[in-house]
Every structure is written in C-alpha cells, then in structure tokens.
Amino acid sequence: MDEFVRIREGMQAVLQAGLLKEGMCAVQDESAGFVVSVVDPQPGETIMDCCAAPGGKTLFMASRLAGQGKVSALDINKGRLRILMEAAKCHNLDDIITDIHGDLRLYAKESTVKYDKVLLDAPCSGLGVLSKRADLRWNRQFEDLEELVCLQDELLDSASLLVKPGGVLIYSTCSIDHEENENRVTTFVQRHPEFTPQGVHGYVPAEFITDDGFYSSSPTKHSLDGAFAARLVRSMH
C-alpha cells in the first residue's frame, strides 16, 4: 500500500526515534490498512467506527479525510478510548475524531444520527492473528464461538441502524473463519434485505478478493495477518 512502509525488523529504532510520539507515523498490520481501503473514506464524509479502540483504523480513516469530514469513534472500553484520543492529538486529528463511550447496541437504538459509512470491526476469535497473540490459541472453545457469532449478529443489526439511505456498512474481522465472516454477511442480508453486498473490486488488489467479492487476507497466502471485510450498501428507500 502506498501509505505504508514495511518494517521487517528494527521496530525499536522507530520507537526510540520518537516518530510515533510525534505523530509522524502509526504502526499497523497491512491487513488493517486494506480494511480501511474497503471503507474508502472520502473528504467530507461522516464515518462511524463502531468498535474503535485501540484506534489504528480510526486514525487511518481520519487521515484519509484530508481535514474534511468527521469520524465518530465508539467503544465500550473507556480506558482504550482515552488512549485512542491521545493518539488522535499526536496526529493532529482530534478535531476530526469524536469519541463516544458506550455499548453499540444501546447507542444505535437511541441515536438519531445517520452516517455515510459505518465500520463494524467486530470482536472475533482472532483466528487470523494467532501468530501474534499466544493467549488466543489456548482460549478457543466452541461455546466461545457460538457466543461470538451471536454477538457479531447483534452488533451488525445495531450498526445497520446508523447507516444513511444510500450509505455503506463495512463488516470486518481479524478472523479467517467462514462462520464469523461470509456466514454472518449472508444471514445479515437475509434479515436486512435493504442492504446489498457490493464487491470490493477496485478497492483492494485482486489477490485479496474472494469469489464472492469480499476482502480476505491470509497469513499463509499473503504473509499478512488474516482479515476479512465486506461492503454492504443500503438502498435509498
């Protein structure tokens, strides 16, 4: 990706040089950058990031707005939101990003505001990032996945309420599990016929596009973290 520099080793040097503190750059796996490409933030748009903390995607989306537009960063975790807003200040993006502390399921019911783009980067099993998070490897039980899938559906239903007619809902995970990815999109569209999946052609390189037109990266195939993203466009009516 144009805005990315790949660092294979020597992250300590970047940290010691103070580049992060000064907001010169941010650290992110390229797979997360591609999810932002699927969102395709455009100057002037209003964007809701539903599970925003720790904020890597939030910051990248906000920087793509080129000073015009707004990103609302919603998260249930107050401490992590505070860290997100400190990073936003570092990057001079604190006038673009507004933080909202709350549970998406409650917020969506009460909110009257609708957004051009809504990103739901859902809590997931993390099957795509197991190489980085040893804790996840031992914690995976089937009940967990069933509960997660229910939560993903609830969050998707809630996020959909925040999308303007003609707007776009982007569902993403850091998993490579069909159950958490394609299957969630399929059942969501059955529940919400006002949303139509839109292929990600033109937003990300062809090698990351599945036969169904979703974004998918795999640790084995692309040597990036595993991730998934789908674009769902809301009808005008």
Buried b / exposed e across 185-199, counting CB within 10 Å, b at 16+? beebeeebeebebee
Binding site annotation covers 53? Answer: yes
How does DSSP classify residue 64? H
Binding site annotation covers 55? Answer: yes
The answer to whether 174 is a known catalytic residue is yes
Binding site annotation covers 211? Answer: no
- Measured at the alpha carbon of residue 22, what is the angle toward residues 18 and 25, in degrees to the nearest 5? 85
Binding site annotation covers 75? Answer: yes
Binding site annotation covers 52? Answer: yes
Report which of 165, 186, 183, 187 is spatially closest to residue 175, judged by C-alpha positions: 183
Q: Which residue has the tokens 């990706």?
A: 1
Give percent helix, percent strand, percent coil of the chain, each to the nearest 5. 35, 20, 40
Report phi then psi at 61, rounded to 5.
-60, -45
Catalytic residue (choose from 50, 90, 150, 174): 174
Binding site annotation covers 103? Answer: yes
Asked whether the beta carbons of 227 and 215 are under 8 A apart, the reply is: yes
Binding site annotation covers 57? Answer: yes
Binding site annotation covers 193? Answer: no
Binding site annotation covers 102? Answer: no
Residues forming a β-bridge with 98: 72
CA dist., res. 110 & res. 23, Å (int): 35
Report phi then psi at 142, rounded to 5.
-65, -35
Binding site annotation covers 95? Answer: no
Q: Which residues are catalytic?
A: 174
Residues comprising the binding site? 51-57, 75, 103, 121
Annotated binding site for S-adenosyl-L-methionine: 51-57, 75, 103, 121
